[in-house]
């Protein structure tokens, strides 16, 4: 797709956010030609003494589940039972045991027909609320804060036109995580494999011994992926090989697969497996041609964050200051921070608060939104205290 951002609705959201940022007193708020929204909350420390810190969240939501005309629902004083969203969507305790940690809390969901969009509009809301609270306590030392709201994170292009110089931060944090306790300094390494199969088409009534069906060969390839390498069978630090789309005909068919692992060596093993499967299938299907193109997506941000561990350490301390038990963890996915860290803007991930991302059963407790906002303000004040006179 040539358009960036990929949907016009993101530009409309960007315009709304520029207006809201200006209403909060951030007069330089603007949206770039590519849909990035940037703004500045000035610090109150001596010029040049403290680093400029970025706070980032993304505007788009997962395109695989509709986010159009979201109808949010607030379940007041949650009673500890299954939550019925619609005739076909029920938040079950058996599938969401974490719900029991929020008995008596208010919980936000959609109505079961769309996703909620807490990924990552929760992060946007928390940043906006944090700005208001930081401005309300002008005597507390704080560095200059650069705000950034990015488009197209969910389709892997969130940093495609991100201008580091224009953003002007020394390092940053994405608010795109789950619980308020978590700080994430590690993501998957990611590649995309595009497998193109060229076959030979003839009339199916006279195909015996002549036809080489590219569609069938793609199906064989997918069936040959070991069960232990699929996303639905892996967890923790296990990587996976995941077919995400098929298109084509008897003459030619393509399959796109995403490859994920916390180590580059794991990616290479999966890619070697894929190449080996292709060789076997070409031997099994004489006349077929299978080509594999590997495209690098992003790399584990831990490789870059290790250069300045204090950026993560201060985030962990902010969680503790907000009254939570900090937990350093990894993401079985990626964030804008993966690419930004590789580009030179070190960017670990902190809380967002949502649960069941990318589904119609997405939910977020109001108390976690509040806790994430507190983590964000404490993060800014901690950095301010490090550089005050």
- Burial 227-247, CB ≥16 within 10 A → b, else e: eebeeeebeeeebbbbbeeee
Pairing state between β 145-150 and 37-41: antiparallel
Residue-wise pLDDT for 17-60, tens only, equals 999 999 999 999 999 999 999 999 999 998 788 999 999 999 99
Catalytic annotation, pick one of 60, 120, 181, 336:
60
Q: DSSP of 57-107, one letter per residue?
A: EE----TTS--TT---EEETT--SS-EE-SSS-EE-TTT-GGGGGGTTS-E
Q: 109 by DSSP, 3-state: which?
A: strand
**Looking at 119, 120, 126, 153, which residue is catalytic?**
153
Transcribe 292-322 into DSSP letters: EEEEEEE--THHHHTT-THHHHHHHHHHHHT
How much is the average pLDDT of 283-310?
Answer: 95
Three-point CA angle 305, 326, 184, nearest 5°: 30
Element (H, E) at 278: helix 264-284
- Domains (range + CATH), the chain: 8-187+300-387 (3.40.630.10), 189-297 (3.30.70.360)
Helices (H), 168-263: 214-224
Q: Phi and psi at residue 109, in whole multiples of 5°?
A: -135, 175
In angstroms, the CA 367 to CA 52 distance is 29
Say if CB 186 and CB 349 are below 8 A apart. Answer: no
pLDDT value, residue 389:
63
Taking alpha carbons only, the member of 26, 56, 62 closest to residue 134 is 26
Give the pLDDT score at 333: 87
Closest-CA residue to 202 (of 214, 185, 190): 214
In whole angstroms, give the CA distance from residue 61 to residue 115.
9
Per-residue pLDDT at 178: 85
pLDDT of res. 3 = 86
pLDDT in tens, 102-121: 999 999 999 999 999 999 99
304 is catalytic: no
79 near 91, Cβ under 8 Å?
A: no
Average pLDDT, the chain: 95
- Residues 21-33 as b or e (16 or more Cβ within 10 Å = b): beebebeebebee
The strand ranges marked E within 176-282 are 182-186, 189-198, 240-248, 252-261
**Active site includes 126?**
no
The rounded percent of the chain whose pLDDT value lies above 70 is: 99
Which among 340, 358, 359, 361 is positioned nearest to 349, based on CA atoms?
340
Question: Residue 225's pLDDT is what?
Answer: 97
* Residue 1's pLDDT band (cuts 50, 70, 90): low
């Amino acid at each position: 797709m040539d358009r960036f951002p990929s949907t016009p609705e993101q530009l409309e959201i960007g315009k709304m956010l520029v207006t809201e940022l200006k209403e909060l007193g951030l007069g330089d708020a603007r949206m770039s030609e590519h849909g990035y929204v940037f703004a500045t909350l000035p610090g109150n420390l001596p010029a040049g003494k403290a680093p400029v810190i970025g706070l980032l969240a993304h505007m788009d939501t997962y395109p695989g589940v509709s986010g159009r005309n979201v109808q949010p629902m607030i379940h007041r004083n949650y009673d500890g039972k299954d939550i019925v969203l619609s005739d076909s969507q029920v938040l079950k305790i058996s599938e969401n045991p974490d719900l029991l940690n929020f008995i008596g809390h208010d919980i936000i969901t959609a109505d079961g027909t769309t996703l909620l969009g807490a990924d990552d509009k929760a992060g946007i809301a928390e940043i906006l609320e944090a700005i208001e609270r930081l401005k309300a306590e002008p005597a507390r030392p704080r560095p200059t804060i650069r705000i950034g709201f990015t488009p197209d994170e969910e389709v892997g292009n969130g940093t495609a036109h991100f201008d580091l110089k224009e953003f002007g931060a020394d390092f940053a944090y994405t608010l795109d995580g789950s619980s308020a306790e978590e700080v994430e300094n590690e993501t998957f390494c990611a590649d995309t494999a595009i497998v193109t199969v060229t076959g030979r088409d003839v009339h199916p009534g006279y195909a015996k011994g002549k036809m080489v069906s590219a569609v069938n060969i793609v199906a064989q390839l997918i069936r040959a992926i070991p069960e232990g390498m699929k996303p639905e069978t892996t967890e923790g630090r296990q990587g996976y090989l995941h077919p995400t789309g098929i298109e084509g005909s008897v003459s030619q068919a393509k399959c796109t697969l995403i490859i994920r692992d916390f180590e580059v060596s794991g990616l290479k093993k999966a890619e070697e497996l894929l190449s080996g499967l292709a060789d076997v299938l070409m031997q099994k299907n004489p006349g077929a041609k299978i080509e594999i193109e590997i495209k690098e997506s992003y790399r584990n941000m831990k490789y870059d964050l290790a250069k300045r561990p204090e950026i993560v350490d201060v985030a962990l301390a902010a969680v503790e200051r907000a009254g939570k038990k900090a937990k350093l963890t990894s993401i079985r996915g990626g964030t804008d921070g993966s690419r930004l860290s590789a580009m030179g803007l070190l960017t670990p991930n902190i809380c967002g608060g949502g649960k069941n991302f990318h589904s119609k059963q997405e939910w977020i407790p109001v108390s976690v939104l509040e806790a994430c906002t507190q983590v964000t303000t404490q993060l800014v004040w901690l950095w301010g205290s490090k550089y005050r006179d």
